[in-house]
């Protein structure tokens, strides 16, 4: 998945114990509808943590990411679910508009309106 958004916050890399695991978080303002912007937190892990170094607060960026979900059973035996947005590529961008990956139905409608139905699943 991919979005274009404005970089609002970037945090320092956190290291977790002797395992050597590292994680860095950042927040973007995603304005699919400019009247109702979304504030979305992403994470970078391991060698990807340095990707954020070349970007400044307020800069428009393109974020390529994977949606991750995990299931964990806590010590009380309760099942808990976690979601994360793991970024794996950051690029400079010139506009804060969505690329369409967040709304596949809109893309299908646009393709049909343009006469291109070769990618439609029906």
In this predicted structure, the answer to whether residue 19 has a pLDDT above a threshold of 90 is: no
Lowest mean pLDDT among 17-21, 58-62, 76-80: 17-21
Please give the average per-residue pLDDT across 104-118, as a whole number.
Answer: 48
Confidence at residue 95, expressed as pLDDT on a 0 to 100 scale: 53
Looking at residue 54, the DSSP 8-state letter turns out to be G
Which CATH number does 2-113 carry?
Answer: 2.40.50.140
Domain boundaries, the chain: 2-113
With 0-12 / 13-18 / 19 or more C-beta atoms within 10 angstroms meaning exposed / middle / buried, residue 28 is buried
In this predicted structure, the answer to whether residue 41 has a pLDDT above a threshold of 80 is: yes
pLDDT of 22-33, one tens digit each? 999 999 999 988
Residue among 105, 1, 10, 116 nearest 59 (CA): 10
pLDDT bracket for residue 46 (50, 70, 90) = very high
């Amino acid at each position: 998945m991919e979005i274009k958004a404005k970089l609002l916050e970037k945090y320092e890399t956190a290291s977790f114990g002797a395992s050597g695991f590292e994680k860095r978080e950042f927040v973007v303002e995603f304005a699919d509808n400019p009247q109702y912007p979304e504030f979305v937190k992403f994470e970078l892990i391991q060698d990807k943590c340095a990707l954020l170094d070349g970007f400044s607060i307020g800069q428009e960026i393109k974020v390529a990411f994977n949606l991750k979900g995990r299931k964990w059973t806590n010590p009380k035996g309760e099942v808990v679910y976690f979601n994360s947005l793991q970024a794996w590529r950051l690029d400079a961008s010139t506009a804060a508009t969505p690329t369409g990956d967040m709304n596949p139905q809109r893309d299908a409608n646009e393709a049909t309106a343009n006469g291109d139905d070769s990618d439609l699943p029906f």
